[in-house]
Amino acid sequence: MLIAGNDTTAATIANEVLQAADDEPLLNRLVEEVLRVEPHAHGLFRTAMRDVELSVTVIPTGSQVCIMFASANDDESEFPYPRKIDLARPNAGRHLAFGAGTHRCIGAALSRMELKIAATEIVKRLGNIELAIPVEEVSYLPNVAMQTIERLPLTFSRRTTAS
Ligand code: HEM
């Protein structure tokens, strides 16, 4: 629970800050779009319990496979121009950032709430948020399945209207 519930949300909040739009009414869609475009978990490992025929291949019983389910978030038949954060997408929440099926994330509702609160507080308190390094210098921890920003230097100003 600690790993599944903390690192995931913290990493997504960092991704969210990177993508932050200074437009509070659109935060719900922003959260969904950031989860879709920059999901923390790109995939997870599974063991095939029986032979599974998939397209032109068979995954034999006992095989370890890394299912990169987040690639479905880039399915352009579902999400046109998938790499684009589009706050007008009618199906913004239909991504696989929380996986699917039996093991779908049990913390999805909680983390959606956490992400919205974090985003709301960030835009309420901080203005002019900018990346302090070139975007290509943002580094990620080495991990095949998870995407965690290593450090995210930002500049920002304090909003005087914050209550
Ligand atoms: C942005 C935040 C989060 C993301 C992106 C995320 C993502 C995921 C993903 C992709 C899975 C695997 C689904 C699968 O195997 O099909 C998962 C499972 C899980 N998550 Fe999360 N998660 C987040 C937050 C949380 C939180 C806040 C909690 C708990 C408070 C949590 C608890 C769990 C647990 C216990 C599982 C395992 C479920 C199972 O195997 O049946 N997660 N999560």
Give the CATH number of the domain where residue 118 resides.
Answer: 1.10.630.10
CA 74/CA 83 separation, integer angstroms: 7
The residue whose CB lies within 8 Å of the most ligand 1 atoms, and thus the one to mutate among 1, 6, 7, 8, is 8
Centre of ligand 1 from the C-alpha of residue 5, in Å: 7
Q: Which residue lies with its CA nearest to atom 43 of ligand 1? A: 105
The residue whose CB lies within 8 Å of the most ligand 1 atoms, and thus the one to mutate among 98, 112, 115, is 98
For residue 148, is it within any domain?
yes
For residue 119, is it within any domain?
yes
pLDDT for position 59: 97
pLDDT for position 15: 67
| Total count of domains within the chain | 1
For residue 110, give the ligand 1 atom closest to its CA: 27
β-pairing verdict for 44-47 and 52-54: unpaired
Centre of ligand 1 from the C-alpha of residue 4, in Å: 5
- What are the pLDDT tens digits along the chain (163 aa)? 667 776 777 777 666 665 655 666 677 888 999 999 999 999 999 999 999 999 899 999 999 999 898 999 999 999 999 999 898 999 989 999 999 888 999 999 999 999 988 888 887 788 888 889 988 898 999 998 888 999 989 899 888 764 5
For residue 56, is it within any domain?
no
Q: Which residue lies with its CA nearest to atom 19 of ligand 1? A: 105
Centre of ligand 1 from the C-alpha of residue 159, in Å: 34
Q: Which residue lies with its CA nearest to atom 39 of ligand 1? A: 103
For residue 57, is it within any domain?
no
Q: What is the pTM of this model?
A: 0.85
For residue 54, is it within any domain?
no
For residue 24, is it within any domain?
yes
For residue 141, is it within any domain?
yes
pLDDT for position 24: 63
Q: Where are the beta strands (DSSP E) in the chain?
A: 44-47, 52-54, 57-59, 64-67, 126-131, 154-158
111 CB-near residues (< 8 Å, 6+ apart): 5, 8, 9, 12, 105
Cβ of residue 106 lying under 6 Å from some atom of ligand 1 = yes
For residue 58, is it within any domain?
no
Centre of ligand 1 from the C-alpha of residue 133, in Å: 31
Range list of H helices, the chain: 2, 8-19, 27-37, 108-125
Give the structural domain span for 77.
2-39+69-158
